[in-house]
Amino acid sequence: MASPLARMTVGLLERIALGLWGFRPSLMREIVRQRGALPTLWWFLRNMPRYERTLKRWGPIRTHLATTLISLVNGCPYCVHGHARALQLHYLQRTDRLFPLDDAAITALLGAPAAEVAAALDGALAQAALEDERPPLRRLVELLAGAAPAGPDDRRLAHLIAMFRVLNTCGIEGRVAPDEVHDPINQDRALAARYDALRAA
């Protein structure tokens, strides 16, 4: 049975996510189980503010594109679903169009080499008229291959690589089933329903 501290930590993290994203992510309990209560709290304190700053600076499309690519290469279905769907919803909200790759096409890239994942996403970005997002995607692949970070944006990408290595590992080892979207846009249920209807059509 989990200790009182572990239960308190899970409850705290789930409440924070509930306020941000509108649901209690299944992964929180698994991270605490695998890493322990206090190490998990410390990890979130070190990583989430930096992640939120990246999200604010880059915007949701670039950020979720990066986290989707990282999670695909690492082979984590849980994080791929949470971030790829966020990418899809933000693209629809911004452009009133569907992203060229649907959910199934993105999920099919799980565990593929970084170059293969990047090639598929890069092609979709070209079709989606998101030219500004293509250079950061290519740089992310270089960093995944071992290139040294060379500036502020590289350091942000390197942080996402390190952060999602932990999240992906916990999701994979815990076999956590995908739940909802890891972004405040998850609370826009009308947008999600419209997205699903457009994909179904």
- How far apart, in whole angstroms, are the C-alpha atoms of residue 198 and residue 196? 5
CATH number assigned to the domain with residue range 59-200, chosen from the 4 options 1.10.287, 1.20.1290, 2.60.40, 1.10.3470: 1.20.1290
Q: What is the pLDDT of residue 2?
A: 80
Position 1 pLDDT exceeds 90: no
pLDDT in tens, 119-149: 999 999 999 999 999 999 999 999 999 999 9
The mean predicted confidence, pLDDT, of the chain is 97
Position 26 pLDDT exceeds 80: yes
- Residue that is written with structure tokens 């509108």 in the block: 22
- Residue that is written with structure tokens 């944006």 in the block: 153
Residue 66 near residue 133, CB atoms below 8 Å: no
